[in-house]
Structure 1
Amino acid sequence: MKYKNEAQIMKALGIESWRNLSKDKMVRFAAMMPNMDTEVALKIVEQFPAFKNFAKDAVSAIERAHQSTFSANNQSQERVHRAWQEVRDILKGELGKDDLGREEKKFLIEQIQETARMQSQKDSENKQFLDGALKKVLVGATAAVALGVAFVGGRVMAESKDSTESSQDA
């Protein structure tokens, strides 16, 4: 269905005024935008600051999720590093015993080295995770802010191209 005026859109959203546009309905509104006349969509978006607030709220929600992920990740990393340090402390304690043979000492030293390698590998994995998480946040924030522009702007350009082609055909 092609929405040709604001009244049709408000009716479809179940609202009487753009002030009644909740976050839920904002998402529905954005999904309906491809089925709206471009001029009507532009007129509506210009009328309510809620669209800007929606984008801000979306970015804030992404930021909170990002912070929560980083906090949980940081706590996990601290526990892992603390556990490896405890293992090394135990191995060093064993290494300090006087009655160890050469092979036992060699084994304990190799175990200490292995925990250091594992810890270094885990640190590298964590850095890759953080890099990926940051990229996702940037993509999410950009998408949230550009939501209206993508729907409305793309339609304006497409309809502008269509009208140019139509005038050339005439």
Structure 2
Amino acid sequence: MGSKSEAEIKRTLGIDSWRNLSKDKMLRFAAMMPDLDTEVAIKIIEQFPMFKEFATETLSALERTHSSALIANKHSQDAFHEACREIREILKGQLTPDLPFEDRKYIIDKLMELSRMESEKDSENKKFLSENFKMAALGATALLAAGVAVLGGKAALDNRSGSDS
């Protein structure tokens, strides 16, 4: 593990005191934890009596943000596809048997273009969903890693203390 001191970590996070650690900076700290010396990380975490509550609140906030993004995305997708259905119906209504070939070809080309647009929107949506899931998972993983590092570090220190006796 790394050997950064508390003072170095505070400077990196741009804080003077652990009591003033914002949620954003707590997440940055959690992401730094795997590179920290276990004893230093534990010493810092012990200064946060509300770490568990913070982690729970942060995970809840991540879940709410993720859910809101998914709901907003679904509404956007539904509106887009509904608009495409309406345009498709209008264009299909224009395809009459007495329509000249050039006009029929134009309408069919527009229907094909509309299909390509829907396909692109579907691919874009899948990419959005994938990236959104990755970000939510990354946030949750950072918090879980912080908790595991603390618990694992405490267990390692307890084992070390027990074997020294």
In structure 2, the residue matched to 1:138 is 137
1:40 shift after superposition? 7.0
In structure 2, the residue matched to 1:122 is 121
Counterpart-to-counterpart distance in 2, 1:140 and 1:110: 45
In structure 1, the residue matched to 2:111 is 112
Counterpart-to-counterpart distance in 2, 1:107 and 1:38: 70
1:38 shift after superposition? 3.5
Q: More relative contact order in 1 or in 2 (CA 8 Å, sep 6+)?
A: 2
Stretches of structure 2 that go unaligned for 5 or more consecutive residues are 7-16, 157-165
CA distance 1:102–1:149, change in 2 (3 Å): same
TM-score scaled to structure 1, two decimals? 0.63
Secondary structure at the aligned position of 2:92 is classed as helix
Q: Is the 8 A contact 2:41 2:150 kept in 1?
A: no
1:128 shift after superposition? 1.1
Matched to 2:74, the amino acid is N
In structure 2, the residue matched to 1:166 is none
Counterpart-to-counterpart distance in 2, 1:39 and 1:132: 30
Secondary structure at the aligned position of 2:46 is classed as helix
Q: Is the 8 A contact 1:88 1:112 kept in 2?
A: yes
1:13 shift after superposition? 5.3
In structure 2, the residue matched to 1:94 is 94
Q: Check if 1:103 corresponds to 2:102.
A: yes
String of CA shifts for 1:1-46, please: whole Å, max 9, x gaps: x77xxxxxxxx556xxxxxxx9849949x69x97xx739717826x
String of CA shifts for 1:28-87, please: whole Å, max 9, x gaps: 9x69x97xx739717826x94x21121111111111000011111111101110111111
Identity %: 41
Secondary structure at the aligned position of 1:100 is classed as coil
1:116 shift after superposition? 1.0
Counterpart-to-counterpart distance in 2, 1:138 and 1:43: 22
* Count of paired positions: 139
In structure 2, the residue matched to 1:64 is 64
TM-score scaled to structure 2, two decimals? 0.65
1:120 shift after superposition? 1.1
CA distance 1:43–1:87, change in 2 (3 Å): closer
The ranges of structure 1 where at least 4 consecutive aligned residues each deviate by more than 6 angstroms after the TM superposition are 151-154
Matched to 1:38, the amino acid is V
Secondary structure at the aligned position of 2:62 is classed as helix
Matched to 1:78, the amino acid is D
In structure 2, the residue matched to 1:163 is none
Q: Is the 8 A contact 2:62 2:136 kept in 1?
A: yes
CA distance 1:43–1:137, change in 2 (3 Å): closer
In structure 1, the residue matched to 2:14 is none
What is the RMSD computed on CA atoms of the aligned residues?
Answer: 3.8
Counterpart-to-counterpart distance in 1, 2:134 and 2:41: 34
